[in-house]
Amino acid sequence: MNYPGGKGGVYQRLINLMPPHEVYIETHLGGGAVIRNKKPAKQNIGIEIDPNTIKMWTKTPSKIDFELIHGDAIHYLESHHFTGKELVYCDPPYLRKVRKKHYPIFRYEYTTEQHEKLLEVIKSLPCMVMISGYESSLYKKSLKGWHTYSFQAASHHGIATEWIWMNYPPPVELHDYRYLGDNFRERERITKRTKNWVARLKKIPVLEKNALLYALNSLNGMN
């Protein structure tokens, strides 16, 4: 599903930044590349304000396995009852002044004031939050102290540097390990190595296997 500003080419990097969570909320859904490709949580919610995009989702032949909400992301985040078990991922229309081309590309663009309000709201949420954007003085100042991750990605106007801000440290445990690695070759290497280890473990006697698993769990407990 192609969509302006969509994450179809980089969803693996984003999923690799997501710790375990029970509720997944993706605001500014658009084409929903992340929610479509990540391992589902117990509850999954996608929020989109554009009625045309909502129609696109409801007419798609594939099954929608998440709660699709037609509404404003800021209003939803302000009114939702959070328990602390959520992971919120925000991918709003990027600040126009830091894009290579400043003209609008979305039916529902974001003003600077809307960005300021969104940042104010996500800083108040009692759960894990990550947000995408281009580097800007507004985001640097507003999200000072948040952890960041950046990478090069293709955009409509060439290569750009994507930034991710997180209100939690880089995860040592992931919700979904299927895309581990920074690129296709690295992901293939990790997948192959994992399959080889699983095949070897299946051949080991059960007590020896349990001893190895116990040692690995003990090692994790030292972190």
The pLDDT assigned to 14 comes to 96
Inside any domain, residue 113:
yes
Of the candidates 142, 146, 138, which has an alpha carbon nearest to the alpha carbon of residue 121? 142
- Check whether residue 92 and residue 189 sit in a common domain: no
The pLDDT assigned to 141 comes to 95
- Check whether residue 80 and residue 116 sit in a common domain: yes
- Read off the pLDDT of residues 153-211 as tens digits, 9 standing for 90 and up: 876 667 889 999 999 999 999 999 999 998 889 999 999 999 998 898 889 999 998 99
For the cut 80, the answer to whether the pLDDT of residue 37 exceeds it is yes
Bridge-based pairing of strands 86-90 and 23-27 is: parallel
- Check whether residue 117 and residue 203 sit in a common domain: no
pTM for the full predicted model: 0.87
- Check whether residue 152 and residue 76 sit in a common domain: yes
Q: What is the side-by-side order of every strand in the sheet holding 43-48?
A: 67-70, 43-48, 23-27, 86-90, 128-133, 158-166, 147-155
Q: Domain limits at 193?
A: 184-221
Inside any domain, residue 131:
yes
The pLDDT assigned to 98 comes to 73
